[in-house]
Structure 1
Amino acid sequence: MQKISFSWMLVHLRSLYYKKKFNVKIGKNTYIFGPCEFSGRDNGKISFGNNTIICRWNVFRAYGGYIKIGNNCSINSFCHLSGNGGLEIGDNVRIATQCVLISANHNFKRVDIPITKQGETRKKIVIEDDCWIGAGVKVLMGVTIGKGSVIGAGSVITKDIPPYSVVVGVPGKIIRSRLSGEVQE
């Protein structure tokens, strides 16, 4: 008989708790290591694929939209993922600590109405397979990050990124292609 440590038992129990309490779909061999916040309010949906690791202190808020995370992913601590407009993360994606993915933005055109009363614009974020999102990256609504891309720490992504790109900066700028190794000017 396999011996299971107390800490692993807690990880399993925590994953079961989140699945039942917050209606989160959790795939096989997917573990949540520590407290996280889940909100599927307004019929929002949150799902994790198989073999995915979720570290402690993350926030997942669907806000009537959805968050779908693929297989073999990892999300490190202190990340905030918003699914208002939809958030799709492919397979084999690595997201480092303190990343923020926001698929909506407040409307603020009118000055005679408080911003909180003007609604929001929602647009889906897609992170394709095999991407690495560095520490502290911000991804804004409507963005697709192409397959195999690497986003450098602290970058702010405001527009689509082609597959196999290396991106750094604020706003994010492609500095080279992983396919050709060619440096972008």
Structure 2
Amino acid sequence: MEIRNSSTIVNLGEKTLLDEKITLGSNCKKITIGYGCFIGENVYIDVPELVIGDYTTIHKNTTIHGSEKCEIGHNCWIGQNTIIDSIGGMKIGNNVGIGTYSQLWSHMKFGDMLNGCRWNTKKKMVIEDDVWFVGHCIVSPVHAKKGSMAMLGSLVVKDMEENEIYAGSPAKNVKDKMGTQFSEIGIKEKKKIFKNYYKSFILENSIREADLEYEELDEVQIRVGNTRFNLEERSYWPTRSDYEYKFMKYILYDKAKFIPVVK
């Protein structure tokens, strides 16, 4: 990793993997990356402060730049060749997917203001939990609400409403045609699905049930080994055991995502 500012403070969580070809630019002052993350090759970071939660993946050739703080939550997946601009500020929630070749812009400027150019703005972009930009999306500094989704190639210029789907250029709400990203699943069905994940995990990894026990603690809580999960709140109490790490990696990113409970 190349660090161009000798005073940059870097805090890395355990089991976080960084490619050697990562650059921290001269504007970087503090970089905090959580537990179990992965940052791929040729990722360029140049923001004064970057905070990344646990189990977030940033693939190769991604650029994160700007003059304001950039926050990225837990369990996020950022595809290769993505641009994240934090000149106006950037806050990305938990469980957010940003597909390959997407661009998230928090500012717009180029034309001469002295010559009367009307387009010179910056605004903090807010992306709430479970938002999904499928890929090749270009996004202006909008507020993308929880569970909203933009289909492949969308040009997003307006705020996105909760659990609704957008498509096109400019992107329009297509909920009437495509429905929503998420549908309701009852707790009994969630428990059934989660137990199947557990069974598949121990089978594929040749783990005995006695070594990684499964127990239903109450209506919504499950224990896998020493780790307790709340299926209703999508939370868990980390133990940082090797089994927990392997299980979390197994269910990410398309099976289930859980947010750590901070004591």
Question: How does the TM-score come out when normalised to structure 1?
Answer: 0.77
Unaligned runs of 5+ in 2: 1-14, 184-263
Q: Are 1:72 and 2:112 counterparts? A: no
Deviations 1:61-93 (A, max 9, x none): 02x212110000010100000001111111001
Q: Identity percentage over the alignment?
A: 26
Q: Quick check: 1:134 aligned with 2:138?
A: no
Q: CA deviation at 1:108?
A: 3.8
Letter in 1 for 2:169: V
Alpha-carbon distance in 2 for matches of 1:103, 1:128: 15
Higher RCO structure (Cα 8 Å, ≥6 apart): 1
Instruction: Return the match for 2:60 from 41, 56, 59.
Output: 56
What's the C-alpha RMSD, in Å, of the aligned pairs? 3.1
Which one of the candidate residues 90, 94, 119 is aligned to 1:91?
94
Q: Specify whether residues 123 and 148 from structure 1 end up closer, same or farther in structure 2 by C-alpha distance, changes over 3 A only.
A: same
Q: 1:180 to 1:132 in 2, by over 3 A?
A: closer
Deviation, structure 1 residue 120:
3.8
1:45 aligns to 2:44 (yes or no): no
Number of aligned residue pairs:
164
Describe the superposition over 1:97-129 as per-residue Cα deviations: whole angstroms up to 9, x where unpaired. 00000101116474637x7xx994210111110
Q: Normalising by structure 2, what TM-score?
A: 0.56
Aligned to 1:148: 147
Partner amino acid, structure 2, of 1:32: I
Q: Does 1:27 align with 2:30?
A: no
**Aligned residue runs from structure 1 range 114-125, under 5 A:** 120-125=120-125
C-alpha change, 1:88 and 1:111, in structure 2 (3 Å) is same
Q: 1:104 to 1:13 in 2, by over 3 A?
A: closer
Residue 236 of structure 2 is matched in structure 1 by: none
Query: 2: distance between equivalents of 1:17 and 1:39?
Result: 8
Structure 2: how far apart are the matches of 1:107 and 1:32?
31
Distance 1:11 1:169, change over 3 A: same
Q: How does 1:101-116 map to 2 (within 5 A)?
A: 101-106=104-109, 108=111, 110=113, 112=115
